[in-house]
Amino acid sequence: MAFLEIDNLKKRYGAVEILKGINLDLDQGGFLVLVGPSGCGKSTLLNTIAGLENISEGQIRVAGNPINDLHPSKRDIAMVFQSYALYPNMTVAGNIAFGMEMRGVAKAEREKAIEQVAKTLQISHLLSRKPSQLSGGQRQRVAMGRALVRDPKLFLFDEPLSNLDAKLRVDMRVEIKRLHATTGKTIVYVTHDQIEAMTLATKIAVLKDGELQQVGTPAEIYNTPANLFVADFMGSPAMNLIQAKAAQENGRIVLKILNKAGGGITLPVPGDITGQPLSDGREVIFGIRPEAITDHDGADRNARSIEMVNATVDVVEPAGADTFVVTHLGGKEVTARMRSDAVVQPGQELPFAFNLDKAVVFDPSTGKRL
């Protein structure tokens, strides 16, 4: 039995349905990330688990027990907010201990818990400071400590890193990952940042307009997206999505893609199509990640199907460890990810190595992966 179970959860404000029948489960010790664009319903879903929002239909269970009708204080759930929500007149130690003090926990027990949590989060040297004397990352650690000290059944994080600068976000991701590994706590985490989702999660749920688009491991979401929305949303740079048409050639079905000059290239159909074979003339969307398009020397030697495609280099973007190269295929910009020392110039005609082991195909009318 899953530790957290959400069955057919719906949330309406008047006639407007915000959550449209969400079904999710999470094992104990798991790390579920709810990801999607602004307004997709991920924070509303988190708030229904916390009890800050009532649900219109469905059921939420924790450890097999329904919690729909329980007051938030009775759910044994701790929440870390985007805004930190620290008491400015209290020290770090006071903020961490406040909830325990309200519950009548003995002073000696409070001090022991504060010491242990502060050591885990590496904030022992900050315990006597006020929130105004802390950096954004330190404040977020204190907010996490206040939740952690309660030892709840379930942790909820609502975009906790969105107020931090880019470098600090990376540092705090590592801290949260370490926290999960050392405590083994069950966590539900909301973000609009798909890099956060990929690096933190054991399971990802992608939402759009209040509906689940796909639920799976980071590898499943990234490598086998269920539809065009997931393919385009997850990954940075995004997956290349190119218009193509199935055609019969020499007794087999291939994919035809136009290039910028109006000519065409021919690619074998990727081998992971699970439905019926493509029919001659069927229009499809060919999807391939930037790292699956590279120069000849950078191609994966273990790949079963590498196809070389000549195309003109449009833009070169050095990015330190990699070089991103933009060309055009099928009337769209296509991004390739090459080695940092790849010698590439704009206007150059270059053979690009396509790793078709990593390619997927979508139906343009339904958006679903074939």
**DSSP string of 218-258, one letter each residue:** HHHHHHS-SBHHHHHHSSSSPPEEEEEEEEEETTEEEEEEE
Which amino acid is present at 16? V
Task: State pTM to two decimals.
Answer: 0.89
Residues of the chain predicted below pLDDT 50: none
Helices (H), 184-328: 194-200, 218-223, 228-233
| Chain segment 118-177, per-residue pLDDT in tens | 888 888 999 999 999 998 888 888 888 888 888 889 999 998 888 778 888 888 888 889
**Residue 260 confidence (pLDDT):** 62
- Domains for the chain: give ranges and CATH numbers: 4-227 (3.40.50.300), 240-362 (2.40.50.140)
**Residue 261 confidence (pLDDT):** 60
Asked whether 18 and 209 are in contact (CB, 8 A), the reply is: no
